[in-house]
A = this chain, B = another copy of it.
């Protein structure tokens, strides 16, 4: 946790916040902060700054908060991601948030097991908690936008074009033959398939929606590794 993310309800007075629970525990056990110490803080969805520890005990952490710095800019990157296995989902969401991905849609695909859609990890409380972990890691305050598309075809054929908007549309596909471009300046929508890959009909839909298949070489990477490698290359 490189940034303590504050919520409006943490403020007990102007410029004064009181934290309990997970964040208190982290500051006690990992930061091992004491009165007078300064911590990087940020208001969820707002600006960042410093929090000076006023008091800290088993019950609560009291901070004097000064905000004023803007959070880092998001990447102009939309991520279209076939719903990963629940075990992988949390890491991917946190990682995408830490990388600065602006918008994410989790879509169904033929090779996504139906049971994945029933995972409690898709509950808004959990997806938000994973994003918060990513923001705390990277020092950002702005949650990525998340959307779920439980039906591939209607989404790909009717909504994707509007959702993706302007910019490049890239489909990461190991062995595509065309290397992923580097250092794109403008917006980009990046599609990453399920573990077994997209099927032919899905690829066709995405190509019709303007996606170019690109790769990072012959290696097949796990989704979270591929995502970070692609972001490192694109921006």
Contacts and interface: CB of A to CB of B under 8 A. Distances in A.
A99 B233 contact: no
Contact of A139 (B100, B139, B219, B227): B219
Contacts of A219: 72, 98-100, 138-140
Given A232-B231, A233-B233, A218 B95 contact: no
Nearest to A96: B225
Contacts of A139: 218-220
Interface of A: 2, 72, 95, 98-100, 137-140, 182-183, 216-222, 224-233
Given A98-B225, A233-B232, A217 B72 contact: yes
B232 A138 contact: no
Copies in the complex: 2
Nearest to A235: B217
Contact of A216 (B183, B221, B222, B232): B232
Contacts of A100: 217, 219
A99 B229 contact: yes
A216 B138 CA distance: 11
A221 B133 CA distance: 11
A226 B229 CA distance: 9
A187 to B, nearest CB: 17
A221 B95 CA distance: 8
Contacts of A98: 219-222, 225
Contact of A229 (B2, B182, B231): B231
B220 A137 contact: yes
23 contacts: A2-B220, A72-B218, A72-B219, A98-B219, A98-B220, A98-B221, A100-B219, A137-B220, A138-B221, A139-B219, A139-B220, A182-B183, A182-B233, A216-B232, A224-B224, A224-B228, A225-B228, A228-B232, A229-B229, A229-B231, A230-B232, A232-B232, A232-B233
Given A138-B221, A228-B228, 9 more contacts: A98-B221, A99-B221, A137-B220, A138-B220, A139-B218, A140-B219, A227-B228, A231-B232, A233-B233
A136 B192 CA distance: 19
Contacts of A140: 219
